Amino acid sequence: MSSLIASRPRPRPAHTQGATHCAYTPDGTKLVTVGSNNTIRIYKTGFDGEPTNIDDCQEQNTAVAASDDFFVAGSEDGTVSLYTFDNNMFDRFLLRTSLPVRDVALSPDAKWCAVASDELSVRLVQVDDNTKLRTLKEHGRPTKHLAFDPKGSLLALSCTDGIVYIYSLTAEHPELIRKVENVIGRVETESESCTKVAWHPDGRAFAVPTPTRDLQVISKNDWEKQRAFSDAHDGDITALAWSPNGALLATAAKDRKIIIWSSRDMSVVARYEYPNVIDIAWHPTKNLASFTTSDGEVFICPDFVSEQFLSLLRLPRQPAPFIHDPLADISANGKRPVTTAPATAELNGQHQKQIASRPAAARRGSLDSLDDLLDENYGDIEDDFVVDDDGAGYTLNAGRKRPAEDELAAGLHPSKRGNFVAAVAQRHEAFQPGSTPWRGNRKYLCLNLIGFVWTVDQDSHHTVTVEFYDHEFHRDFHFTDTFLYDKACLNDKGALFSCPPRDEGEVPAVVFYRPHETWTQRNDWRIELPKGEAVLAMSLSDSFVTVTTTGNYVRIYTLFGIPYRVYRPKSSPMVTCASWRDYVLTMGNGPVGVDGMARLLYTIQNVKRDEICQNEDTVALPEGVTVRSVFFSDGGDPCIYDSTGTLLTLLHWRQPSRASWIPLLDTKLLPRLASGRKRESYFPIAVADNRFHCIILKGGDQYPYFPRPLLSEFEFSIPLSSAPAGGKKQKKKKERKSRDPLLDDDEDQDMADSLSEEDEDDGDEQGDENNNETRKLEQEYLLKGLRAAQLADLLDASKSTAGQRAALARLELEIDKTLLQVLAIECREGEDRGMRALEAVMLMRDRSGRMVEVAGKVADRYGRTILGEKIREVGERRVNGGDGFSDGEEEDDVFA
């Protein structure tokens, strides 16, 4: 490990003793330093002579930020001054505050300047027009440090109360979107201890000092703790800065040390002895860094990184140090290939330019050549262009005009072949039902009605915890996981785990099954997959273990580890799977549709009988919609939950080519969301007891986190109408007020409303009550009919018991009772609803004629004589062997 800079730089006495700060211009041509005296110094990069001095400035400057054309400095007298590089002179005051300025920051486009002071608010001032101000005051505490993220859409404030406040600047008025607590310590604004947020160059995370003298990385995606740089400093951190490519982190502390860390493995690559350092700045393109001290000295250090680790500084932009990088981990547990720049790539302070290598003597196109006639971007291919021809996920966000934010942040460049983007298929990504992605160092491996499995990353190993809801049948257990399992399934028989390959595929993926209890000694089993294969998804039933892999195989084992079947499905790559008893459902990507998205196909087969129930049928998804989860209900019917919040079940799936997807619930139409004030989504868990069991997610979350939230359940409601009940009366009141403009006095208006309400309320309330009751009965009829159809399919496909047959008979009787209630409402409505009432009778399932006879009595009770005669005709036809639904002329006679 290097402990000395190649040639130890000499200290430059730039300012009088006191806090001294420095900043490089984005183009790296100049270094600006400010301090406690009334002189600002500008050092030219590569020039070892005397700096340029600006003497017309404020004293006690506490902060500086620079662009290519100007720089701003804040001082303790509350002024923020702007200086230009054209003439190296003071230009104007940007802002005045009533208390000392503590920090200033320029947005990446240098159009806005953020100012932190001892006041309880932060000001954003436009550089070109300082009359345009934005005020951030929701934090309500003095701000010591502030920092823009690399895109300029977020501003992080480190306040004296030990909280990092994150503001969004995308709207006209800045909005506080997050408080990151329990990371930084409580410090006063004049303290030399640093709590500054240092955004990683890829913009997906930031590093911040902690009271324990470590550097903690925080993810922007979920604001959770990621990796930490620790156990190197013995004093409070006073300065930190990322290298331009994010591969290195330089920190200084009160222990008189400057340490350079590698962001890849959090190791120390260099340690230097320099006391009282309070600010560090990296040069944007060179192996050069400068730092200042509280003694007023400036150090300009060429060859800041030793030759041994210089290759790290020459790398293209590196990803932020996550525990589990969302860009590196895909559903297949593999790694996305990272596009790398040529060795000659240089950094320009904002982004990386990748210059494609060309022949030394390029032939110049002739006049009217094909290259001149075509568009200059036609067929242009960058060095980092990768074609996703095997569906492994190499190209991201195909078909979009702009790449995803995380791709740009990680240095993944989109192809210039805009004319051919639509030809690249967008495939459904693989997922494990009931699991969540990593959030910080925790992850749910499985969530269902049996229990839940979660894991904690401890760097060298994982700790896995399995908890059950019913402790009378099973006991919770906990174990140390050295295999690093990332998927799990749980049922009443046992727990299933799998881990991805490691060491670049040298250590194969492993599937591990742990039964809860057996009549013999419990026998765990573990199977290694062939090298190169990783688990995409897996499922566990009472009979089999099903595993889908990146080798496009479906591997089925018995519960005791005996390989039962291995086959390659037609649809690939695989997406997910689910199982129930002897049935296995697999989903995979099929042909590409006109929208460029691959169709999602599913297959259901009975493994033990070797029967295929549905073969490569299409999952019913609207355009642009994806499946979030797939599972079997407690009755054994396949269900899916899609990205629109709709729960669907599969009907007649045991009969080939007859299956159809039926919506059970649209969560967007839940009554709890009718007001429009709630913003929540739902994480699917199971379908049981004719209810949808889920976890309610608030605040825009897509997955549950710790502590584990409680389960909620919703009754099924087939989407029939979105009209809210009880809204007509209020609407009529508003209409009456708009129709009576002459009644200005409130009492007169109330009298008019009361008189009209006396005439209308009785009829309206009765009508609304009838409509609500009718909608409720329609829901009951559809849901009971669906349950009856599913139960009938089950009885036809298995050896039915007397109890199951009796349950089906009771269900059909309930359907007929529901139709009788519909008939009664229609009879109350009047003679004009007779056709609808007769149709309800014809939908009855009773063939003995008893229910039709009761229906005739209901019609007679309400004095519907003609309707009663029609109902008796239907009954006579049923008794004679008909079904009430006749064809041709006979049907017309019934409704005549």
- pLDDT of residue 480 exceeding 80, the answer is yes
Question: For residues 260 and 274, what is the distance between their CA atoms, to the nearest angstrom?
Answer: 13
Question: For residues 324 and 438, what is the distance between their CA atoms, to the nearest angstrom?
Answer: 6
Could you tell me the pLDDT band of residue 678, with boundaries at 50, 70 and 90?
confident
C-alpha distances in angstroms, 223 versus 73, 92, 150, 241? 31, 38, 17, 20
- pLDDT of residue 706 exceeding 60, the answer is yes
- pLDDT of residue 338 exceeding 80, the answer is no
Could you tell me the pLDDT band of residue 56, with boundaries at 50, 70 and 90?
confident
- pLDDT of residue 443 exceeding 80, the answer is yes
Q: Which pLDDT score is estimated for 755?
A: 40
- pLDDT of residue 479 exceeding 90, the answer is yes
Question: For residues 786 and 778, what is the distance between their CA atoms, to the nearest angstrom?
Answer: 12
Q: Which pLDDT score is estimated for 446?
A: 96
C-alpha distances in angstroms, 386 versus 339, 356, 383, 415, 420? 9, 14, 9, 8, 13
DSSP 581: T
Q: Which pLDDT score is estimated for 356?
A: 36
User: Which of 108-122, 319-333, 844-858 has the largest mean confidence?
Assistant: 108-122
Kindly state the average pLDDT of the residues 112-135. Answer: 94
**CATH superfamily, region 442-715:** Peptidase/esterase 'gauge' domain (2.130.10.150)
Q: Contact, 294 vs 254, CB < 8 A?
A: no
Both tokens of 803, joined, read: 């109890």
- Tell me the pLDDT tens digit for each residue of 591-612: 988 888 899 999 999 999 999 9
Q: Which pLDDT score is estimated for 423?
A: 52
Could you tell me the pLDDT band of residue 674, with boundaries at 50, 70 and 90?
confident
Q: Which pLDDT score is estimated for 593?
A: 84
Kindly state the average pLDDT of the residues 34-51. Answer: 91
Tracing tokens 């006109």 back to the chain, one arrives at 594
Question: For residues 256 and 259, what is the distance between their CA atoms, to the nearest angstrom?
Answer: 10
Kindly state the average pLDDT of the residues 751-768. Answer: 52
Tracing tokens 């160059």 back to the chain, one arrives at 201
Kindly state the average pLDDT of the residues 808-827. Answer: 92
Q: Which pLDDT score is estimated for 894?
A: 57
Kindly state the average pLDDT of the residues 336-359. Answer: 37
| Lowest-confidence segment of 129-138, 410-419, 624-633 by average pLDDT | 410-419
C-alpha distances in angstroms, 551 versus 389, 430, 529, 610, 659? 15, 13, 10, 23, 29
Give pTM, 2 decimals: 0.69
- Tell me the pLDDT tens digit for each residue of 533-571: 999 999 999 999 999 999 999 999 999 999 999 999 999
The letter for the amino acid at 347 is L
- Tell me the pLDDT tens digit for each residue of 209-246: 999 999 999 999 889 899 999 999 999 999 999 999 99
Kindly state the average pLDDT of the residues 344-348. Answer: 36
Could you tell me the pLDDT band of residue 847, with boundaries at 50, 70 and 90?
confident
**Residues of the chain above pLDDT 90, percent:** 62
Q: Which pLDDT score is estimated for 514?
A: 94
Residue 124, classed as helix, strand or coil, is strand
Which helix (H) or strand (E) segment holds residue 113: the answer is strand 112-117
Kindly state the average pLDDT of the residues 578-597. Answer: 92
684 Cβ contact list (under 8 Å, min separation 6): 628, 629, 631, 641, 647, 692, 693, 694
Could you tell me the pLDDT band of residue 765, with boundaries at 50, 70 and 90?
low
The letter for the amino acid at 426 is Q
Q: Contact, 155 vs 169, CB < 8 A?
A: yes
- Tell me the pLDDT tens digit for each residue of 158-171: 999 999 999 999 88
Q: Which pLDDT score is estimated for 575?
A: 96
Q: What is the mean pLDDT of the chain?
A: 83
Kindly state the average pLDDT of the residues 329-347. Answer: 39
- pLDDT of residue 519 exceeding 90, the answer is no
- Tell me the pLDDT tens digit for each residue of 391-434: 444 444 444 444 554 544 444 454 444 444 445 678 999 999 99
| Lowest-confidence segment of 120-129, 184-193, 669-678, 723-732 by average pLDDT | 723-732
| Number of alpha helices (DSSP H) and beta strands (DSSP E) in the chain | 10, 53
Would you kindly state where each structural domain of the chain is located, as residue ranges?
323-344+381-424, 442-715, 773-895
Q: Which pLDDT score is estimated for 461?
A: 92
- Tell me the pLDDT tens digit for each residue of 370-385: 444 444 444 444 444 4
Task: Determine how many CB atoms are found less than 10 A away from the CB of residue 404.
Answer: 14
Residue 453, classed as helix, strand or coil, is strand
Kindly state the average pLDDT of the residues 706-719. Answer: 91
Q: Which pLDDT score is estimated for 67?
A: 95
Could you tell me the pLDDT band of residue 891, with boundaries at 50, 70 and 90?
very low
Instruction: For residue 515, say if its preceding peptide bond is cis, omega within 30 degrees of 0.
Output: no
Report the b/e string of 220-233 with b at 16+ CB within 10 A: bebbbbbbbbeebb
265 Cβ contact list (under 8 Å, min separation 6): none
- Tell me the pLDDT tens digit for each residue of 260-288: 999 999 999 999 999 999 999 999 999 99
Kindly state the average pLDDT of the residues 504-519. Answer: 87
Which residue in 267, 268, 266 sits closest to 258, CA to CA?
A: 268
Kindly state the average pLDDT of the residues 779-807. Answer: 91
Kindly state the average pLDDT of the residues 11-38. Answer: 93
Report phi then psi at 61, rounded to 5.
Answer: -75, 130
- pLDDT of residue 734 exceeding 80, the answer is no
Kindly state the average pLDDT of the residues 328-353. Answer: 40
- pLDDT of residue 776 exceeding 70, the answer is yes
Both tokens of 71, joined, read: 């720089």
Could you tell me the pLDDT band of residue 876, with boundaries at 50, 70 and 90?
confident
Kindly state the average pLDDT of the residues 442-462. Answer: 93
DSSP 822: H
- pLDDT of residue 726 exceeding 80, the answer is no
Q: Which pLDDT score is estimated for 892?
A: 46
Both tokens of 745, joined, read: 């006095």
Q: Which pLDDT score is estimated for 373?
A: 42
